[in-house]
Amino acid sequence: MKNTKYQKKIAQYAFVLVCIWTVLVAILIIYQLFTLHKITLEMAVNEARANFKKDQAFRFWGAYHGGVYAPVTDKYPPNPNLAHIKERDIQTPSGKKLTLINPAYMMRQMNEMFAEVYGQAGHITSLKLLRPENAPDAWEKKALLSFEEGVKEVMEFVDIDELPYLRLMRPLFIQQGCLKCHWQEGYKIGDVRGGITVSLKMAPFFGRERRQSVIYLISYSIILALGIIGIISGAKRLKLRIRERDEAYEELKEYQIHLEELVKKRTVELEEANKELYLHVKEVERVNKELRNFSHIVSHDLKSPMTSIMGMAELLSLKYSDNIDDTGKNMLNRIVYNTQLMNDLINGLLELSRIGRLDDAKEELSLNDQIQRILQENHHRIEKIGAKISVAKNLPVVYYPKVMLYQLFSNLIGNALKFSREGIPPEIKVGCEEAESEYIIFVSDNGIGIREQDFDKIFDMFSRLDKSKVEGSGIGLAIVKKIVFENEGRIWVKSKEGEGATFHVTIPKKRS
C-alpha cells in the first residue's frame, strides 16, 4: 500500500516536471519565432528603404545634370512636356537624333526595365500630374496627402493580387534642377513635388523565415525530447530505489519478529540476524539518501549519463585490460567514442539554441587579440601537427558580442586544423578585406577541400561529409552560420576538393 502511494506521488511529480519543462521550451520557441518574424520584417523594411534611396539618388543625379540625352526610339519618343525647352532635341555631327530625358522620365524608364527583369519596381507619382499614366492609386494618394502635412515616410504591409507586399513611400522635394521642367507649375525649391513608392514582395522573406522556423522547431523539439527522457528516466530510477527500500523494510520487520521468538534459544542465529539487520539498515539509509536527492536526479544535466558511461568504460579498460580480449577492448573503445560523440552533440545543440538568447551585448573588440587568444589556447595542438598559421596585421577592431566572436573563429580555425591532408602539415591564413560597409574576414587552409555541390550542405546541422576519416559532431559550422546571421553578416566558402578551402565572413562596420 505504501509502495503504491510513493509510486503515485513520483508519477505526479514527474508529470508536473514534464509539464513545466514543456511550457518552458514552448515559451522559448514562441519567443524565438517572434524574434525571427520581427527580424524578417526589419530586413524587408531595410531593403525597401535601400531601394528608395537608390531611386532617389538616381533622380538627384539626373536633376543635378539637368537630364541626359538619349537616342530617339519608338518606345521612348521625345517628351512632349519638355517642348518649351529649345534644346530638347539635338542632332550629333554624324546625324544621330538625340532627345532630352528629364529625371522623372529617366526614373520611369528605369523602373519599367526593372519591372520587366525582376517583376517589381518603384513608382514615381504626384497629385499634380504632367503625365496621366503616373496617377497615384488610392494608397499612394493618401500617402501624398499626408506628405503635405509634414509626414516624412508612409509604410504598410498590404496584399496586392492576394500576395503579401511591403509598400513604402517617401516624398520628393523640388530642387534647383527640377524647375527646368516644373517652373510653370508655380513650385519653389523645397516644395513637395510628389513621391516615390517602393512595392517589395514579401514572399521570399517569409519563405526564408519558414525555413529558419523549421530549424528552430526541430532543435527545440530535440531539446524537449531529451529533457522529457531525462525526467522519465530519473523517475523510474527513483521508483526502483523506493521499491527496494520497501522490500528491505519488510524483510527487516520479519527478521525482528523472528528474533524476538528465538532470542533465548538461538543466540548464534541472533548474531547473524543482527549482521543482516545492519546491512539492511545501511541499505535503507542509502535509499533514503537517494530519495532526498530526487530533485537533483531529475534536474541533472543531460550530459551526466553520457559522462558516467564513458568514465566506467575507460575505468574498465584500464583496470581489467589484461582480462579482456581485443574484441572486448574494441567494443569499449567504441562505447567511449560514441558517448563522447553524443556528449558533443548535446553540447552543440545547447550552444546552438542559446545563440541570440544569452546576454550578447556587443562591444568594441580587437579581432587580432581574439585570434591570438585562440592560437594560444591551441598551442600544443598546433605544434603537435606542425601547422603554420599566418595572421594579417590589418585585422580590424569590430563591434561584436565577445563570446560569439571567439566561438566563431575558434570553430573556423579548429576546422582548418582538423580537416588537413594526411602527411601534409596544415597551412592556415587569416586575413581581412575592407568593403564600404563591412569587413570581409577570411580563413583559408590547404586541407582536404570541399566539393562544390556540398558548399551549402556543410552549414546544415549534423552534416559531416567524411565521417570515416575525421571525428566531429557536425554542428560546428551550423553554430558559425547562426552566429554570423544573428549579427547581420554573411558567410560563404570557396574550395576545390583536395586543394584546401577558404571561408569568408562579413562583419558590419556600423553599430547595430
409 in the same domain as 334: no
Residue type, 146: S
How many domains does the chain fold into? 2
Full 3-state SS string of 205-269: HHHHHHHHHHHHHHHHHHHHHHHHHHHHHHHHHHHHHHHHHHHHHHHHHHHHHHHHHHCCCCHHH
Of 280, 311, 345, which residue is a domain's last?
345
309 in the same domain as 338: yes
Write down the pLDDT at residue 253: 80
Of 291, 317, 345, which residue is a domain's last?
345
Q: Which tens digits make up the pLDDT trace of 407-420?
A: 889 889 988 898 88
Does some domain include residue 132? no
- Residue 495 sits in a domain whose CATH number is 3.30.565.10
Contacting residues for 324 by C-beta, under 8 A, at least 6 apart: 316, 317, 332
369 in the same domain as 446: yes
Full 3-state SS string of 281-312: HHHHHHHHHHHHCHHHHHCCCCHHHHHHHHHH
Burial level of 392, CB count in 10 A (0-12/13-18/19+)? Answer: middle
279 in the same domain as 323: yes
Kindly list the strands in the beta sheet with 122-125, ordered across the sheet, starting from the edge strand earlier in the chain. 122-125, 192-201, 163-173, 154-160
Full 3-state SS string of 389-403: EEECCCCCEEEEEHH
332 in the same domain as 224: yes
502 in the same domain as 371: yes
State the cell numbers at 76: 521612348
Q: What is the mean pLDDT of the chain?
A: 79
CA-CA-CA-CA torsion sign (35, 37, 43, 45): negative
Write down the pLDDT at residue 306: 61
371 in the same domain as 500: yes
407 in the same domain as 308: no
410 in the same domain as 309: no
Say which DSSP state 128 is in. Answer: S
Q: Please give the full DSSP string across 34-85, using - where no structure is assigned.
A: HHHHHHHHHHHHHHHHHHHHHHHHHHHHHHHTT-EEEE--SSS---GGGTTS
233 in the same domain as 339: yes
Q: Which tens digits make up the pLDDT trace of 27-82?
A: 999 999 999 999 999 998 998 888 778 777 777 787 777 778 888 888 778 877 77
Write down the pLDDT at residue 140: 83
Does some domain include residue 20? yes
Does some domain include residue 350? no
Say how many Å lie between the first and final Cα of the chain, rounded: 64
Write down the pLDDT at residue 204: 87
Q: Which tens digits make up the pLDDT trace of 474-509?
A: 677 888 888 898 888 999 999 988 889 999 999 998
Write down the pLDDT at residue 116: 65
Write down the pLDDT at residue 407: 87
503 in the same domain as 376: yes
Of 345, 376, 403, which residue is a domain's last?
345
Is 123:109 a contact under the CB 8 Å cutoff?
no
Q: What domain range is 370 assigned to?
A: 362-508
Task: Please tell me the distance from the alpha carbon of residue 446 to that of residue 498, in angstroms, as a whole number.
Answer: 8
Does some domain include residue 462? yes
Does some domain include residue 84? no
439 in the same domain as 337: no
Does some domain include residue 38? no
Does some domain include residue 53? no
Q: Which residue ranges of the chain lie beneath pLDDT 70?
A: 1-4, 112, 114-121, 130-131, 174-192, 263, 266, 268, 281, 284-308, 310, 313, 316-317, 320-323, 326, 329, 332-334, 336-360, 461-474, 511-512
Question: In angstroms, what CA-CA distances link 288 with 212, 252, 281, 493?
Answer: 47, 15, 10, 58
Does some domain include residue 325? yes
